[in-house]
Amino acid sequence: MPKFITPEGRTIIENELEILKGKKPEIAQRIRSAREQGDLSENSEHSSAKEDLSLVESRIKEIENLLRSAQTVEDREKSDCVVFGATVTIKVNQKIQIYTLVGSEEADPSQGSVSYKSPIGQALLGKKVGEKVTIKTPKADIQAEIIKIE
């Protein structure tokens, strides 16, 4: 199944990749310094640095695979309904909430970015301003009204 990502999300992920690649030489130096201290069996700095290197290399591979396989959805044309990449303002219990529908790899609900595959994303996709939607969550169904689509 193809993975989708916004141009902004691709840029953020590419920046993370560059930062991680920049950390590798520093971690390699920590490993070399720890080796110079002698007995590696009781050298916590050596173990810690090797674990850090493993985590960084694992994340680098994950990001490279994502960037290779993800389809970037370019800026969308103006639409009167909610599509991937849209920023949607909804009203839930008289409270305004704003979400941008993005790929699952770049979703960060704390920043207002939700996956188009999430319950919120699924409820909003294809809907128009003024429509009422039901967001199905594990705890309850939430009623919302679409106020604005950008």
Please, which pLDDT band fits residue 40 given cuts at 50, 70 and 90?
low
**Segment 89-109 mean pLDDT:** 94
List of E strands, 41-104: 70-72, 87-92, 95-102
Q: May I ask the CATH class of domain 87-149?
A: alpha beta
Instruction: Give the model confidence (pLDDT) of 59-86 as tens digits.
Output: 999 999 999 988 888 766 677 899 999 9
CATH number of the structural domain 3-72: 1.10.287.180
Residue whose entry in the numeric block shows the structure tokens 């030489």: 25
Mean pLDDT of the chain: 91
pLDDT of 71 reads 87
**Which phi and psi (to 5°) does residue 2 adopt?**
-70, 150
Give the Cα separation of 44 and 39 in Å (integer): 10
Instruction: Give the model confidence (pLDDT) of 1-18 as tens digits.
Output: 678 898 988 999 999 999
Read off the pTM.
Answer: 0.71
Domain ranges within the chain, ordered by starting residue? 3-72, 87-149
Residue whose entry in the numeric block shows the structure tokens 């920043």: 111
pLDDT of 3 reads 85
**Segment 105-117 mean pLDDT:** 93
Please, which pLDDT band fits residue 36 given cuts at 50, 70 and 90?
confident
Residue of 100, 40, 99 whose CA lies nearest to 73: 100
